[in-house]
Amino acid sequence: MTPPTIETIRAALACIPPDLPRDEWARVGMALKSELGKAGLELFEAWSRPAESFDEKSLRATWQSIKAGGEVGIGSLFHLAQRHGFKFEPKKRAEPATPEQLKARAEERKAAAARERPSVRPARAKPPPRRQGCSSRQARPAKPPICSARV
């Protein structure tokens, strides 16, 4: 599935009234942050501002509390928009990606995964293999015999 364009997201937001119950309003913010990251804040604020209950401090506090890879994705925003009359434009046949575009996308995914992955300590080197026919007891030096004779 191709990611939605910013225009499609704006069109969906235009169908959703900003005077939603707080939990639904927050879910719109979650969906925007999940899809757009920090860039979604501007859209969230512009969409929320016309609401009678708009409070900038509340908006910023809510935005700060939202985790960027949470359970609510952009699909939740589109579902809500469809309930309010939003319809997707008919699909146009997409041009196939060039090899350069595919390579750039793969590099972006690797870089994003590296940023998200916690640092991992490298594995310890394995000890060298034992020589065949040599057990740990044979490898130790022999103890001198105990002499029981009295001098």
User: pLDDT grade, residue 109 (50/70/90)?
Assistant: confident
pLDDT of amino acid 65: 92
Whether the Cβ atoms of residue 77 and residue 32 lie closer than 8 Å to each other:
yes
For residue 134, give Cα distances in angstroms to 119, 128, 129, 131, 140.
39, 13, 11, 6, 10
Q: Mind listing the pLDDT tens digit for each residue in 32-91? A: 999 988 889 999 999 999 999 999 999 999 999 998 777 899 999 999 999 999 988 766
pLDDT digits (tens, 9 = 90+) for 2-21: 778 889 999 999 999 999 99
What backbone torsions phi and psi does residue 148 show, to the nearest 5 degrees? -100, -5
Q: Using one digit for the tens of pLDDT, what is the confidence trace for 50-64?
A: 999 999 999 999 999
What is the distance between the alpha carbons of residues 36 and 16, in angstroms, rounded to a whole number? 18
Asked if residue 128 has pLDDT above 80, the reply is no
Query: Is it the case that residue 147 has pLDDT exceeding 70?
Result: no
Does residue 125 have a pLDDT over 80?
no
Among the listed residues 62, 82, 66, the one whose alpha carbon sits nearest the alpha carbon of residue 11: 82
Q: Which two tokens stand for residue 100?
A: 């350069």
Using CA atoms, how far apart are residues 151 and 74, in angstroms rounded to an integer? 93
Residue 97 has pLDDT above 70, yes or no: yes
Q: What angle do CA 12, 14, 19 make, to 5 degrees?
A: 110
Q: What is the arithmetic mean of pLDDT over 120-139?
A: 60
Provide mean pLDDT across the span 92-115.
76
Question: Per-residue confidence at 141, pLDDT binned at 50, 70, 90?
Answer: low
Q: What is the pLDDT of residue 142?
A: 56
